[in-house]
Every structure is written in C-alpha cells, then in structure tokens.
Amino acid sequence: MRLLVVEDEARLAAALQRGLRAEGFAVDVARTGPAGLDAARHGGYDAMILDVMLPGLSGYELVRTLRAEQHWLPVLMLSAKDGEYDQADGLDCGADDYLTKPFSYVVLLARLRALLRRGAPERPAVLAVGDLRLDPARRRVTRADTEVTLTAREFALLNYLMRRPGQVISKIELLDHVWNASLETAPNIVEVYVGYLRRKLGRDRLETVRGAGYRLAT
C-alpha cells in the first residue's frame, strides 16, 4: 500500500512517515501544496494524508483541484483546530475523512484503514504456506513448528511474499513495497535479503525466476 503525506511541519511529517512505514506502508512526503498536488496526480498512491495549512496551495484547494480533474484518490484531511477552518468545509471540498489536530495516532491508523478497506478483503490472522507460518500480530515465523528469528527487514520481505504465494514478484515491486525505495536504488539489496531468507528458511523455498523476479514455493 502506497501513501502520500502532504505536510509542511517537518517533525510531524517525519513522525508520520516513520510510524506508517512501521505499519508496512510505503510512504512518500511532500512539503508544499503544489508538490503534493503533483505527486497525487502522478504517483499512483492508494491514499493521501493531507494537511490543510500548506505553503503555496491550501489542502482545500488541493482536493478541489484533484476532484475537478477526476482523481478519486481517498483523502484523509488534517487540520489545526484554530477555528478558522472547520470540519464541514473539509468534507465539502471532497475529502473522504477528517481529523483535527492534535489527533491520536491509533485513530489516524483506524481511519486510514477504513478508507483503504473499501472493497479490499480482510487479512487473515495467520499466513500459512506449506509448513511455513507467519503471524503478523505476534511477529512470529515458524517453519515446521520450529521458530525462526528474522530481522525487521527480513520479516517485511517474507510477509510480502507470503501474501502472494506461487506468483512471481519482481525486484522492482519488492523494492517499492518492502523498502519503499526510489527507482534508482540498486536491486542488489533484494538479492542479498533473499539470500538471508534462504539461509534461514531452506534453500528451495524461494525460487529465482531469471529476468522476472522471485516466487515463493507453495
């Protein structure tokens, strides 16, 4: 899931990015209204978190413009509760949901998930492929009932692969979702981590499909 955060306060932006990445989202940040609008138009995001007070172009105007151009990206709006703007305005101009600062992180997450959920199926509690099991809540992985300890990055990678067993997944896609890296990042890092996983899970569990990507054996 790819998210766009449009926020000019550096600390809040950084905190959001960190927190959401920890939840497994790929997060990009834009710091001004125009930059945000541009990213929203072309970035292929699944949702946008948008501050109202922005340099260059207000959040309201941004959403209005986007909607006028027939972009229907889900938008979660944030505003300082200083009375100048109010919630009704936010929803009026085309935002899908609305939070006033200061807000709780858990609430943000809940609302965000609600936005994204439209149509998306609920995740199963425990992923299982062959004799591999992965429990996201407990953050545990077992192979034939013996526990395997993984680092955060290894866990994220396996997690992603286990959601689409048997399918070939490209390095670019993995870079994008597991590392949320730019196009310029060297794909070698993926090879390195696939190597780590192979050592821990068994050699033939991850197949290489030359020129295409990797596949988790079912």
Among 106, 118, 124, 146, binds a copy of itself (CB under 8 A): 106
What is the enclosing helix (H) or strand (E) of 22?
Answer: helix 10-22
Residue 154 touches which member of a copy of itself, DNA, none, C-beta under 5-8 Å by kind? DNA
Question: How far is the C-alpha of 137 from the C-alpha of 190, rounded, in Å?
Answer: 25
Question: How far is the C-alpha of 109 from the C-alpha of 100, rounded, in Å?
Answer: 14
Note the residues at the interface with DNA (CB under 7 A).
Answer: 18, 83, 88, 149, 151-154, 171, 179, 185-189, 191-195, 198, 208, 210-213
Among 91, 114, 128, 144, binds a copy of itself (CB under 8 A): 114
111 or 200: whose CB is closer to DNA?
200
Token digits of residue 198:
């192979």
Among 103, 128, 191, 195, binds a copy of itself (CB under 8 A): 103
Beta strand segments in 31-116, E: 47-51, 75-80, 97-101
Region for 44 from its dihedrals, namely left if φ exceeds 0, alpha if ψ lies in -120 to 50, beta otherwise:
left
Question: How far is the C-alpha of 165 from the C-alpha of 2, rounded, in Å?
Answer: 21
Token digits of residue 74:
């889900």
217 belongs to the binding site for a copy of itself (CB under 8 A): no
What's the min distance (Å) between Cβ of 218 and DNA?
18
Residue 176 touches which member of a copy of itself, DNA, none, C-beta under 5-8 Å by kind? a copy of itself
Segment 70 to 99, residues that bind a copy of itself, using CB under 8 A: 99
SS3 33: helix
16 belongs to the binding site for a copy of itself (CB under 8 A): yes
What's the min distance (Å) between Cβ of 69 and DNA?
27
Give 23's contacts (C-beta < 8 A, 6+ positions apart): 109
Question: How far is the C-alpha of 180 from the C-alpha of 172, rounded, in Å?
Answer: 10
Binding site for a copy of itself (CB under 8 A): 11-12, 15-16, 19, 22, 99-100, 102-107, 110-111, 113-114, 137-139, 151-153, 155, 166-168, 170, 172-173, 175-177, 182-184, 209-212, 215
